[in-house]
Structure 1
Amino acid sequence: MTKIRSRQQLIDAAAKVFAEKGYDAARLEDIAAELDVLQGSLYYHVGSKAALYRLVLLQRFETIIVAIEKIAAGTASPEDKLRQAIREQLRYLARHRSESAHWFDSLPANDKAPAEAEEDRALLLRLRESWKAIIREGIRTGAIRKNVDASVAVLSILGMTNYVARWYDPDDSRTIDQIADTQFAMVWDGLAD
């Protein structure tokens, strides 16, 4: 038996088990076995399976939010920002492919405390706002049609890009960048003025 060396080690092991088994089938015993520790050792770091799953999701979500925020704040054209953001989103999903298909399976509402639900809403708002900033800049500069509803555009883009986690196969002849480029072309053709 070893000991848990860091919170990151715990999150990585939990992410692996959740990816392999799914949230419902994964057990804390499985995560403890992945870490080669006693199950009781987990309780020193986290109070429940739901809390551990939440740590995994929050870390993954924060990472992609920061990446998209940096793209939105950059100096590239709105067209290039949108291309970069779609590519970053898909690369991120591909990097975490084994677990990313489960990211959008939410926990039952009764597994979340009101503060957690509010934190989730705030994070989701941050993500959407960074994407909207790109769309709004495109509208302001005339690169994107003025009648485009930024909220609908962003929700559509996120729906399309996030769903790739459900069907992407790295053994396919298409690379993740080729898929991103195809998605960007479809989006841009629908938005460009």
Structure 2
Amino acid sequence: MVQVRQRPRTVASMDVEDTLHASRSGRRRQELVDVAANIFAEKGYHATSVQDIAESLGILKGSIYYYIDSKEDLLYEIVDSRLKNMESVLRRLRSSRLDPLAKLRGFICDIVAHVHADPVKSAVVLRDLSALTGERLERATAALERQDRFLRRQVSAGQKAGLICPDAEPALTSRGILGMVTWTYRGLGQQARFGAERTGEAFADIVLAGLRCDRKEHTQGHRRALGALPVSW
């Protein structure tokens, strides 16, 4: 019987095998994250069990722990990926030479585009971020605070430049913008026909039209004359 000598594994062949294994493992982990996101969005993080995720993947519950240590690992990966996208928007806008109004428009349009690109994970971030614990919650909260701070600074800068009405309260304006752009995922069934670009531009038009003010014609509280309600209302 002729024995076939096995070719010894070289460093190069081992590197290729390790790369292929890492690639397959990475794809499987991403599939796990995507499935978890869908279930979190449907049932909520706390109501979802690791068993639910395993059944959706058609694998044993124990197999999931090859990729994660806890269910929170999945939530954090979902939250972190979305917040990193938003951080990239902030970095690009901060480094630009756009005026405050243009930076506000850029923020609104870009964040709406990110929400439209992945409404499922966006929903999970909005609803379940607070389920994170320890440093993970601190990092996620800090990222949200950076968005709020960026918006408030643009409103203040716009007021100093005479571009934005002095009556606008930066903190309230920031909350309004964040609420508008982040909750847009809930209306995607109706808004999908408009598309991300049209939706973002429409939201930006509404916000900027409400903030814009001619300094020469400004009088305190002048906006409240628009659609003013009768005293008896």
User: How far 1:98 sits from its partner (Å)?
Assistant: 3.0
1:147-166 alignment to 2 at 5 Å? 147-166=167-186
SS in structure 1 opposite 2:125?
coil
Q: Report if aligned partners of 2:100, 2:154 keep a CA contact under 8 Å in 1.
A: yes
Unpaired runs of at least 5, structure 1: none
Point out where structure 2 has 5 or more consecutive residues left out of the alignment: 1-20, 214-233
Q: CA deviation at 1:128?
A: 1.5
Where do 4+ consecutive residues of structure 1 move more than 6 Å? none
Q: Distance in 1 between matches of 2:35 and 2:211?
A: 41
What residue identity is the alignment partner of 2:150? S
Contact 2:108 2:204 in 1 (8 A): yes
AA aligned opposite 1:54: Y
Distance 1:185 1:95 in 2: 21
TM-score, normalised relative to structure 2? 0.68
Counterpart in the other structure of 1:44: 66
Counterpart position of 1:58: 80
Taking the aligned partners of 1:170 and 1:63, their CA distance within structure 2 comes to 24
Counting matched residue pairs gives: 190
Q: Secondary structure at the match of 2:149?
A: helix
- In 2: Cα distance, 1:191 partner to 1:49 partner: 43
Counterpart for residue 222 of structure 2? none
Task: Please state whether the residue corresponding to 1:131 is helix, strand or coil.
Answer: helix
Decide which of 160, 166, 172 is 1:140's aligned counterpart. 160
Pairwise CA distance, 1:183: 1.4
**Partner of 2:92 in structure 1?**
70
Larger radius of gyration: 2
1:152 is displaced (CA, Å) by 1.4
CA contact (8 A) 2:45 2:128 kept: no
Which has the larger displacement, 141-150 or 85-94?
Answer: 141-150
Secondary structure of the residue aligned to 1:102 is helix
Q: CA deviation at 1:104?
A: 1.4
Q: Supply the RMSD in Å over aligned alpha carbons.
A: 2.8
- Give the equivalent residue in structure 1 for 2:137: 117
- The 1:171/1:187 distance shift into structure 2, 3 A limit, reads closer
Task: Tell me, yes or no, if the aligned pair for 1:72 and 1:131 is still in contact at 8 Å.
Answer: no
Taking structure 1 as the reference length, what is the TM-score of the superposition?
0.80
- Distance in structure 1 (CA, Å) of the matches to 2:192 and 2:30: 31
State the identity %: 26
- Residue 168 of structure 1 is matched in structure 2 by 188
Instruction: Determine which of 122, 140, 148 is the counterpart of 1:100.
Output: 122
* Equivalent residue, structure 2, for 1:81: 103
Question: Is the aligned partner of 1:186 residue 2:206?
Answer: yes
Q: Which moved more, 1:118-127 or 1:151-160?
A: 118-127
Question: Within 2, Cα distance between the matches of 1:190 and 1:168?
Answer: 24
